[in-house]
Chains A and B, each alone.
Chain A
Amino acid sequence: MSNVLAFVEQRHGVVRGAEGVLAAARRLADGRGGAVHAIVLGAPGVEDEIEALGPQGADEVRVGCHPGLETYVPEPFARVIADAAGVGRYGAVVFSATVQGRDLAPRVAALMDVPLVTDVIGIHPEEDGVHLVRPIHGGKANVHLFVDATPVVFSVRPSVVPASDGGAPGVVHTFTLNEDPARWPSRRIAVEPTSGDQDGLARASVVITGGRGMAGPENWGILEDLRDAFGGDAALGATPSVVDAGWRPRGEEVGQTGQIISPHLYLAIGVSGRGDHLVGMRTAGTVVAINRDRAASIFDVADYGIVGDLFEIVPRLTRELRKHST
């Protein structure tokens, strides 16, 4: 009952974001003297990707294969994971708090008839069970929860528990799924790759967000230059009002109706700091605000601020960064 099942995502055979969910599972299992079992579902061949999961904290890896599951399909995924979790009598089942994890975990919990805690940012194994912490009210407060059910099912935000290193490679068990795709009630019929940074926004370690102070979509070039000066792990964001004005695509929106992100570094450029935007960035690491108005609310949630004309400050920032990176 003390073993932990961790769902690891893959897309087109490439495992993604395993370290966060496995580190969380490891912490829980170590606190209760159990083992971590990872489960991956995908098309045949996905097992070739699996060797790396051992050193990240999985004692055993279960790989379920079906040609129709090269990418995520909710109903069969939920059924297979709920079955595996039930048969294995796990004490906990852990998901990543990603688009896929947030779609999948509620279905698994409902199939197993147990509650779900989403977007966990703190895990504390205690005598009476595990205590979980999650943000509420757009990150203004945190709630500590105790789940009175087994297994404890939750999704964890990336980088909450530092990735573990070392450990023996896990034993890999591959099994074939007996599924009939004709019976899946929903199916993906088309995918149009997103342009720009939208895909990377949730995972980027540096996010540069432009607000109304940018004065128009034609001025975004200076933010693109700044992003490029930060290198590969930076992405552009936009405030809700910028997206509503049609200046930037919806996928870049950071806020209540867009993405909720926690990059290591967040730069708010010409952003006033309305509540519906702050919901999306309050849990970021270091926050830098650049705004001409010292009274703007964004300075209340920033670590460092520069007051002045962003059209002078941002190009200078880009130049100085480039100097340091060469």
Chain B
Amino acid sequence: MNIVVCVKRTLDSETRVRLDPRGVSIDAHGARYVVGPHDEFALEAALRTRAKVGKGAVIVVSFGDGEVEAQLRACLAKGADRAVLLKGVPTADGLRTARALASVTEIVDAPLVLAGLRSADESRQQVGPMLATLLGRPCVTGVVDFELEDGKAICRRDAEGGDETWQTDLPAVITVAKGALHPGSPSLRDIMGATEKPLEERSARPGQSRVVVQELEYAQARPGVRILGHGPEAVPELIGLLLRPPAGP
């Protein structure tokens, strides 16, 4: 049973974000790129599921430019068996990304497709359920843990109102949130070995983007912290500030 994991190259959340002078894109110079944490949880879940099932391959797929190869190699170093780089230019239109992914044979054939709940950069949180919908498959989002049983997946997810257990038919798409799994770091040997694993480039045909970026702006910065003092003596002034409408509780 093959498991496909969809991953995205994103800016590391510790990176300082700089906008380019035209204000329509991020200045990527010197920025650090990673596979976001939710995608790493998805990959870890895929590797553990494959280990339990005892057969099949874990295939990582990403839609993006040639730079994505570095992140796909990182996934191979962590234990994925092969990678597909779907070459194209992602935009703010997530449906376009979902459509590009929906054309990948490995995804069409896989009983289980995993993706991170959301990406670390744009956090649009939509490609997983869109992909499932385009393929006519069920999708359970924000899953923290799952088991495969008799052609179904039993999924646990946190929702408002409780920890839910869902049963879904396979094939399915599952988006993965933080659970009990803590992905480990690959050894140097794994990293070296990853260069030997197959990574196939294909061109994507996602169609036209229908979401246009008009402008980027820095979020309004806070005016700067006011240190009210040292120790509990500063508390009365804080109370005064908090109870002053409308900022007070």
Contacts and interface: CB of A to CB of B under 8 A. Distances in A.
Interface of A: 11, 74-75, 78, 98-100, 102-103, 105-107, 109-111, 113-119, 131, 135-149, 185-194, 198-199, 202, 205-206, 230-231, 233-234, 244, 250-251, 253, 256-258, 260, 264-265, 274-276, 279, 282-283, 285-289, 294, 299-309, 312-313, 316-317, 320-321, 324
B17 A106 contact: no
Contacts of A303: 222-223, 225-226
Interface stretch (B82-90, B158-166, B187-195): B158-166
B232 A305 contact: no
B23 to A, nearest CB: 10
Specify the main secondary structure of chain B where it touches its partner.
mixed
A142 B138 contact: no
Given A11-B161, A145-B214, A306 B130 contact: no
A302 B222 contact: yes
Specify the main secondary structure of chain A where it touches its partner.
mixed
Nearest to A205: B249
19 contacts: A102-B125, A102-B126, A103-B142, A106-B127, A109-B126, A115-B96, A136-B123, A185-B168, A185-B169, A199-B161, A256-B120, A257-B177, A265-B247, A279-B13, A299-B225, A303-B223, A307-B229, A317-B235, A320-B236
B155 to A, nearest CB: 8
B166 A137 contact: no
Interface of B: 11, 13-14, 17, 19, 26, 37-38, 41, 92-96, 98, 120-130, 132-134, 137-142, 144, 154, 158-169, 172, 177-179, 182, 210-219, 222-223, 225-232, 234-236, 238-239, 241-243, 247-249
Contact of B213 (A138, A143, A275, A294): A143
Given A189-B167, A192-B162, A306 B95 contact: no
Q: Which 4 A-B pairs have the closest CB atoms?
A: A110-B133, A186-B168, A185-B138, A106-B126
Contacts of A306: 227-231, 234-235, 238
A257 B37 contact: yes
A307 B230 contact: yes
B222 A78 contact: no
Contact of B212 (A148, A275, A294): A148
Instruction: Identify the interface centre among B218, B241, B242: most chain A CB within 10 Å of its CB.
Output: B242
Given A116-B124, A194-B162, A244-B182, 8 more contacts: A119-B124, A138-B123, A148-B210, A188-B166, A286-B242, A313-B231, A320-B239, A324-B239
B231 to A, nearest CB: 4
A203 to B, nearest CB: 8
A302 B160 contact: no
B222 A301 contact: yes
B169 to A, nearest CB: 5
A307 to B, nearest CB: 5
Nearest to A287: B222
B211 A106 contact: no
Nearest to A116: B126
A169 B242 CA distance: 37
